[in-house]
Amino acid sequence: MNKISYLSAAALLLSSSIFAQKEEVPKNWHQLDKANTGYYGISIDKAYDFVKGKKLKSKTVVVAVIDSGIDTLHEDLKPILWTNPKEIPGNGKDDDKNGYIDDVHGWNFIGGKDGQNVKEDSYEAARVYHRLKSKFGSVVPDESSVSAADKADLIMYKKAQQKILGNADGQDDHGFEFLALKRVQTNLMASDSILKKAIGKEKFTGTELDAYEATTDDVKKAKFSLLGLMKANDALEQTNAEFMEGLNDYVAGEERKNDAKQNPPKEYRKEIVKDDESNINDRYYGNNDLMASTPFHGTHCSGIIGAVRDNGKGVNGIADNVRIMMVRAVPDGDEHDKDIANAIRYAVNNGAQIISMSFGKDFSPEKQWVDDAVRYAESKGVLLVHAAGNDAKNVDSTDNFPNANFVDGKGRANTWITVGASGDPKNGGITASFSNIGKQEVDVFAPGVQIYSTIPGGNTYGNASGTSMACPVVAGTAAFLLEYFPTLSAKQLKYVIEKTAQAPDIDVKIPGTDELTKLSTLCKTGGIVNAYEAAKLAATLKGERKASKATPVAKAKTVKKKK
């Protein structure tokens, strides 16, 4: 899953660099204007001044967020949730006859009809490796010895085997990192226990810990360890309990990866969802529980897009007249292609005009299903915005799914934007150290470091970093533009956002290194999204969007998953 991680690999290995202090930046730095404030934000207030100066009125835009869930009771999100106008809440009936019972604010494709929900799941590399191992065996055959029909599977198997068992040199780097991770976990659990006794309460925030004056050496050491990692992961607003829960979930995920070397992954999803995963036409599964047990990620992303503006609470979202449709399809682990394909189709069929997708993985065995859904979205004029990933890799040459390239070789999606994460010199640099890059595959950069937004709890807020945060910044910008320029087509939205991306006036670091370069070498546009410049260009265009019509439920060909 291409989401924020509580601890980066460098942090897990206790690199001393994680304790480097970042300057304090405004909580809304990502929305600020560079010329007026010095921060490399998206100039959203300036953009609002521009549309107000033209006396433009907004129209409501529906943004689907395909993610882990959402806090439907949050004070800054509850007013802007999409509500299905044809569904009567809680009556246990499919009032609008769309196949999904009581889908009032969206749908959960990783839940069971009995109310259970998928929380953690396996990783796609492990699923692919063990499925194809039974077909090809432990010793990978030569490509010349297999049929043309099996060649794609064999290539995928080779990649999965290398991912699971080790790198090209036969070294198991992940095994080393996992042992280091377990040591970190043990040390932090001990530090947490020491601090609870010293502070005199079971729960305290990172901010409270920062202000606490330790008086003994063991407490000072414990504070240094826990506080350092909380700061490194922008988690000062979290409690120690929340942070440790995140750490433990992360460790559990890495343990599942480590276990996959020997054992087939547990089928978490199958035991709960109970659909026929091999059949893309079996699509009416899941439940309407959007909060489930993992709403942090989706709640944070949704707030970035559209948390109620100027209500005196928490944060201002980027767009001021949106409705957020949550489509839950992303577990703590890797999402399944079938769920993503159906999530995209559900969003389109229920009126989403923009889809925000902050997830990703290294393998996509049923990419054709996802591609078909993307083509469907494009045919209905829907803009898809996707996070580039957090591995500091070049996705021009390494796999990152889903992506705009169709697996059948017939072109690429024309209403798709891939987003890298930017920061500011005051919080680590213009390019986020974790962000994936790609001159061909990453379209633009957008703020994704220390982004302050809504988090679960009803009235709570906090920072998070990742291309997962940069993606909804772009989706929110697109929603703002469509609100005030409602005749713009999805292709025009993509054009306006990319054409007006602003090149930073300084060189940037190649993520994962100290090497400097121009941003133009790291992404297609060489720029950071800017809402003001985009609005100015949008105002000059003649819109191409066709009048909206009722969207029929899509039909899909029956395709059986390979065994």
**Tens digit of pLDDT for each residue in 158-191?**
999 999 987 544 444 555 677 788 888 899 999 9
Note the pLDDT of residue 175. 59
Note the pLDDT of residue 21. 47
Q: Where are the alpha helices (DSSP H) in 200-334?
A: 206-211, 217-232, 240-259, 268-273, 296-306
Domains of the chain as residue ranges with CATH: 26-82+107-121+292-538 (3.40.50.200), 124-259 (no CATH)
What tokens appear for 191 in the block? Answer: 């530090």
Burial class (CB in 10 A: 0-12, 13-18, 19+), 502: buried
The phi, psi pair for 357, rounded to 5°, reads -130, 95
Note the pLDDT of residue 233. 77
Please give the Cα distance from 394 to 513 (Å, whole number).
13
Instruction: Tell how strand 354-357 and strand 444-447 pair up.
Output: unpaired
Rg (the chain; Cα; Å):
23
Please say whether the beta carbons of 334 and 1 come within 8 A.
Answer: yes
- How wide is the angle at C-alpha 274 spanned by C-alphas 270 and 277, nearest 5°? 70
Please give the Cα distance from 90 to 95 (Å, whole number).
11
527-545: per-residue pLDDT in tens? 999 999 999 999 999 988 7
Note the pLDDT of residue 22. 59
Q: Which residues on neighbouring strands pair with residue 64, listed in sequence order?
A: 325, 355
Note the pLDDT of residue 551. 39
Average pLDDT of adjacent 10-residue blocks, the chain of 563 residues:
44 38 84 98 98 98 98 98 96 96 98 96 95 89 84 92 70 62 89 96 94 95 92 84 86 82 93 96 98 92 98 97 98 96 98 98 98 98 98 96 96 98 96 97 97 95 95 98 98 98 97 96 98 98 69 40 43
63-74: per-residue pLDDT in tens? 999 999 999 999
